[in-house]
Amino acid sequence: MNSNQIEPRLLLGPGPSPVVERILEAMARPTVGHLDPQFLALMDSVSQKLRWVFETANRMTFPVSGTGSAGMEAALVNVVGPGDTVVVGVNGVFGTRIAEMSRRMGGDVVAVEAPWGEIVPPEEMIEVLEAHPGARLAALVHAETSTGIHQPLDEVGAFLRDRDTLFLVDAVTSLGGVPVEVDRRGIDVCYSGSQKCLGVPPGLAPITFSPAALQRIQERESPCQSWYLDVGLIAGYLGAERRYHHTAPINMVYALLEGLMVVEEEGLEARFARHREVGGRLQAELLDRGFQLFAQEGYRLPQLTSAALPGGREEGPLRKRLLEEFHIEVGGGLGPATGKIWRIGLMGAGATHETVDRLLAAVDQVLAS
Amino acid sequence: MNSNQIEPRLLLGPGPSPVVERILEAMARPTVGHLDPQFLALMDSVSQKLRWVFETANRMTFPVSGTGSAGMEAALVNVVGPGDTVVVGVNGVFGTRIAEMSRRMGGDVVAVEAPWGEIVPPEEMIEVLEAHPGARLAALVHAETSTGIHQPLDEVGAFLRDRDTLFLVDAVTSLGGVPVEVDRRGIDVCYSGSQKCLGVPPGLAPITFSPAALQRIQERESPCQSWYLDVGLIAGYLGAERRYHHTAPINMVYALLEGLMVVEEEGLEARFARHREVGGRLQAELLDRGFQLFAQEGYRLPQLTSAALPGGREEGPLRKRLLEEFHIEVGGGLGPATGKIWRIGLMGAGATHETVDRLLAAVDQVLAS
C-alpha cells in the first residue's frame, strides 16, 4: 500500500476533516531548518494567528509538535504535579482521558461525572470546586467529540476568575468552529488539534497558557514530568534566545499557517455562523428521517452530530457501506455508545450545504436497501 | 511570513536534511482518517519497512507521532520507572538529554562521561554495568549529532545479551546512514527521526522495542508516566483490534512511507557506502583546507562532520554568509562547542558529490574574503 493508491474520502467523521488543496500545497513547500530565520518568522506568524483564533493575548501560544492528545498531555503535564488536586468534568472519552493523564502525573483526581450525551452541570462543577478550594486545576471539555456535547464554560470561568485554581479547557474539536474566547472566559490553559475545525492535517496541537498558568509553571517544586512537552524549555526556542529544543515539524507548520490564513480570510464570526447553520440543518434533517440525536437538546455541537439510526438499524454495516460505496467517512460510537451511534463531523471545509446534500443522499440510499 | 515566501536552502546542517520532490508530493496526497482501512494498510507497510531499515524482527516497530526527541521520550518513558538505575553514556547533547529525561521519570542515573568529541569507551560502560548488575537500562547514542561521534555498540550489546539490563540506542542521526543492526547488536529499544538520513521532513520518530523490552513494559509496577507515548496503549491501535488511541499524523506517514521506498530502491548497503564515501571526501577536503576535525579519529560519522575553522576564524559570521549569500545551511556548535565548530550534515539526499562541490565552492569564497 502506497500513498498514491489512496482513494480520497469525504471526511465527515470526528476528524480529520477535509483539507483544501491550498493547505496540502503549502505542506509540500521546501523544508527548511528549524533555526532558519525564515522559519522562525513563520512560527511567529503562526503564534500570532493562533492568539487571534483562541481570542487571547497570551504570549505563550504555539503549536505543540504532536497531535491533539499531545496537546492534552502538554497542557496537563506542565501544570499538574504529584499531589495536586484536579477537578475534571467527565461525560465522555476526553474527560476520562484528562482524568487518566492527570493520575499518571500524580494528580488527585476528583471526577464530576455526568451521563454520556449530557453536559457536566456547571453548578455541580462549582459545588465540587467550593469543596476543594486548594484544587490546582479545574478541567472541562468544550466539545466532547465522543458525544457531540457543547459544554458551557462561562459559569465555571467566572467562578474561578479570582481564585487560585487554574481553568483548563479542551478545545480540540471546538477551535475555529464555535467561539472559544480564552480571555473573556478566564481560561488559563487551552489546547486544540489541527485536524478538526481548522481543516489542517493532523500533526499539531495549538496550545495557549495564561500568565497565571506560566507563573504556576515557574513556581512548581517538582520538574515537569515530560522533557519534550516542557513549556519552560520550549519558551527558550520561541523566545528571543531561539535556543534549540527539538526540531519542529516544519512542513506541518506550513500547513497550519495556511489553514489559519483560510480561517482569517473567512473571519471568525462568519465561520462560526457557517458551522452553526450547516450543523443545525443536518440535525433537523436527521430528525426528519427518524434518527435520534444522542446529545442533550440545547447543548448540541453544530460541528459534531451524534445520532442513533432510525428503527434500531445496526450502525456498523451501514457505516461501512457509506465508506466503501460512497467514499464518505463517518465515525462510530465510543465507550457506552459503541455500536449505537454515528458521529458525523461537519468541520472546517466540510461544513457546507453541498456536503450535507451528498451525505444525506448517500444515507437515504443505504437506509433504503 | 507565509510558506510561499520561503526561500529554499541546501540543508547541510545537523538536520533536517534535503527532502526530494517525490516525498513532498506524497505528503500532499489527500488526507484520510486514521481508522480508514486504507490508512491502516499503509501503516502496516511503514512498520514493515522500518523493520527492514532497523534490521530487526521486532513486531513492535512504528513511527512515534512526534519529532526525534519524542522518540527518545517514548523509548525511555516506557521502560524507566521510579527507582530504576539507568546507565547512560554522556559525551554530548543527546546523552545529556537521555540522562535528564530519565531523571524526570524517577530514574537513578549513572552517567558514564567522556569528553565531547570522543567516544564513550565500551570498556568503561561495561565496568559501570558490572558494578550495577540490577540496572534497568544501558543507553548509548549511536550518532552523537552534537559532536559527530560514531559510537561503537557491539561490545556493550554483547555484554548485555544474557543480562536483564535492557540496551537502548539513540539512532536519530544514524538510521539509514550507517548500519544500526538492532537484532545483531542485541539492542532492545531504538529510535530515530524522520528528518536525518531517511530524508523525510521532521515530524515522526521511528521506534522499535524488542520482546524483552515489551515484557518489561508489561511487568512494570508503576504505569507509564506518559499516556500519549504509552506503547501498551499504542499497541491496541497497531494490533488486530485497531482501537483508537490518538490521531496519527496521516500526511507525515505518507511522507515517511515514500522516504522508506526511496531507501529501499537504493538498498541499505549502497546507501551506507554512499554516505561513507561522500562524508569521507568532505572530511579529507576540509583537512586540506586547514579545518580541524572535532571528532576523534577513527570514530567520525560520515553523515555529520564537526570541524573548527582554519586559522581560528570566527564561525558565526561565515555560517551566516553561507546561509544568506549561498542559501546553504550548516549548523553551529552546541554546549562547550558553541562558537567553535561547524556541524555539516551530508544526510540522505544531501550525501552526494555535487553537494560537496557546491558546499566547498561556497566555503572557499567565504574564507577568501
Calpha distance A286→A308 (Å, rounded): 10
Calpha distance A355→A282 (Å, rounded): 10
B96 and B84 share one domain? yes
Confidence of residue B166 (pLDDT cuts 50, 70, 90): very high
A325 and A359 share one domain? yes
**CB B188, CB B239: distance < 8 Å:** no
* Domain enclosing residue B330, as ranges: 8-15+267-368
pLDDT over 90 at B369, yes or no: no
A48 and A165 share one domain? yes
- With cell 540506542, the residue in question is B169
At B219, which amino acid appears?
Answer: E
Residue B84: inside a domain, yes or no?
Answer: yes
Mean model confidence pLDDT for chain B: 97
Q: Which of A264, A289, A309 is the last residue of a domain?
A: A264
Contact B9 A32 (CB under 8 A): yes
Residues of B in contact with A245 (CB under 8 A): 69
Q: What is the mean pLDDT of residues A3-25?
A: 97
Count CB-CB contacts under 10 A for residue A334. 21
A239 and A285 share one domain? no
CA distances from B119 to B1, B24, B111, B300 (A): 42, 36, 14, 10
pLDDT for the residue numbered B30: 98
Q: What is the CATH number of the domain that holds A332?
A: 3.90.1150.10
Smallest Cα–Cα separation from B254: which of B61, B18, B15, B41?
B41
B272 and B135 share one domain? no
B274 and B244 share one domain? no
What is the model's pTM? 0.98
Say yes or no: B41 contacts chain A, CB-CB below 8 A.
Answer: yes
Say yes or no: A41 contacts chain B, CB-CB below 8 A.
Answer: yes
Residues of B in contact with A195 (CB under 8 A): 31, 247
Contact B228 A193 (CB under 8 A): no
Number of structural domains found in chain B: 2
Residue B1: inside a domain, yes or no?
Answer: no
Cell numbers linked to B308: 573548527
pLDDT digits (tens, 9 = 90+) for A323-366: 999 999 999 999 999 999 999 999 999 999 999 999 999 999 99
A294 and A150 share one domain? no
A138 and A171 share one domain? yes
Mean model confidence pLDDT for chain A: 97
Residue B289: inside a domain, yes or no?
Answer: yes
Q: Which of B18, B38, B246 is facing A7, going by the closest CB pair?
A: B38
Residues 235-254 of A with CB under 8 A from B: 244-252, 254
Confidence of residue B145 (pLDDT cuts 50, 70, 90): very high
pLDDT over 90 at A369, yes or no: no
Smallest Cα–Cα separation from B201: which of A281, A224, A279, A247?
A247
Residues 310-369 of A with CB under 8 A from B: 323, 329, 334
Parallel/antiparallel/unpaired status of strands B149-150 and B143-144: antiparallel
B220 and B239 share one domain? yes
Say yes or no: B73 contacts chain A, CB-CB below 8 A.
Answer: yes
pLDDT for the residue numbered B88: 98
A242 and A314 share one domain? no
Q: Which of B264, B289, B319 is the last residue of a domain?
A: B264
Q: Which of A264, A292, A319 is the last residue of a domain?
A: A264
pLDDT for the residue numbered A257: 98
The alpha carbon of residue B15 is apart from the nearest alpha carbon of chain A, in Å, by 7
A86 and A151 share one domain? yes
Residue B90: inside a domain, yes or no?
Answer: yes
Q: What is the mean pLDDT of residues B177-201?
A: 98
Predicted-complex ipTM score: 0.97
Residue B297: inside a domain, yes or no?
Answer: yes
A203 and A327 share one domain? no
Q: What is the CATH number of the domain that holds B147?
A: 3.40.640.10
